[in-house]
Amino acid sequence: MNATGGIGPTGYVDPPTDLVAYSWAEPFFCGLMGLVVLAALVWAVVKREWILVALLPAAAVSSLIEPFYDYVGAAWWATNLTNAFSSFDGRIFNPYFFPLGYACWVGLGAYVSYRIFLKRPRRSRMLIGFAAVALCEPILELPWIHTHLFSYYGPQPYIMLGYSLVWCAINTSGVAFAGAVLLAMRSNLHGWGSARAAVVPFLVIGSYFAVAWPTWLAYQAGASAPVLWAAGTVTIAACVAMVYVLTGYVARRSADQAASPQRIEAGISA
């Protein structure tokens, strides 16, 4: 095996098994994410936002899927992460870093997306909101990449500064999907019913499969560069289409609900 991520004898690209993170990186980012999650949890309890209380631990548990994503998405974590253990096909699971990361992105991201939809502004404003969410993803990942905690390896399309724009699209569409599901469930999320929100992070896994499968198949097939770029383009287009369709649907529902009282008043006056 080529420890630097070279092409193996089968045509597949071997992961960079010599990747070692800076000694301070893991405790620093774990502490930072822990503070964010704790602050969000305290705020949610004080504000009685029980949906967020349900989302955070559920998102943390859903991080168990991460080794599979790493395998199909050609990603690799540093070998010196604390208490990490081998999971899917040699990919590791870290019981601290991964749950905290998923609580931050999937848990908080789903809640932020829900709030964007809940306000039901015009589609253009919702799209601006999700563009801002998309910008948060590299802010989260780029420091990990450049402290060697994590790396995308092999020939991949849309890589910028070591960061995958394909995964930015996948992750952003995933939390947008989660927000739309929460909005659809809203009438059933009152009181103890808020616990139902805990299912949403696991539904996000399905949304990832729906948009990412062309890219994942291309990676696993050891496809040529043109095929990789075509697959990455299809995945990004599918993610953009998902967000566009969801925002359009919510905007139309908002417009219809706003128009309903006017129709009633017009009928009464007639």
- CA–CA distance, 173 with 152 (Å, rounded to integer): 20
The mean of the pLDDT values for the chain is: 89
Residue 183, pLDDT > 50, answer: yes
Residue 198, pLDDT > 80, answer: yes
Give tens-digit pLDDT for 59-98. 999 999 999 999 999 999 999 999 988 887 789 999 999 9
Predicted pLDDT of residue 122: 85
Mean pLDDT of the region 236-252: 94
Residue 165, pLDDT > 60, answer: yes
Predicted pLDDT of residue 68: 95
Distances (CA, A) of 241 to 121, 244, 247: 19, 5, 10
Within a 10 A sphere around the Cβ of 191, how many other Cβ atoms? Answer: 7
Q: Which residue has the higher pLDDT, 238 or 87?
A: 238
Mean pLDDT of the region 262-268: 42
pLDDT band at 257 (very low <50, low <70, confident <90, very high): low
- Using CB atoms within 10 A of its CB, is residue 261 exposed (0-12), middle (13-18) or buried (19+)? exposed
Share of the chain above pLDDT 70, in %: 89
Residue 252, pLDDT > 80, answer: yes
Mean pLDDT of the region 4-33: 77
What size, in residues, is the chain?
Answer: 270
Predicted pLDDT of residue 89: 78
Predicted pLDDT of residue 87: 82
Residue 267, pLDDT > 50, answer: no
Share of the chain above pLDDT 90, in %: 77
Rounded to two decimals, the pTM is 0.88
Cα Rg of the chain, angstroms? 20
DSSP 8-state secondary structure symbol assigned to residue 110: H
- CA–CA distance, 171 with 254 (Å, rounded to integer): 26
Give tens-digit pLDDT for 40-69. 999 999 999 999 999 999 999 999 999 999
Predicted pLDDT of residue 7: 38
Which amino acid is residue 209, in one-letter code? Answer: F
Q: Is the Cβ–Cβ distance between 51 and 197 less than 8 Å? A: yes
- CA angle in degrees (0–180, nearest 5) for 186-187-192: 90
Helix (H, G, I), strand (E, B) or coil at 159: strand
**Which element (helix H / strand E) includes 33?**
helix 25-46
Within a 10 A sphere around the Cβ of 239, how many other Cβ atoms? Answer: 27
| 88's tokens | 């899917």
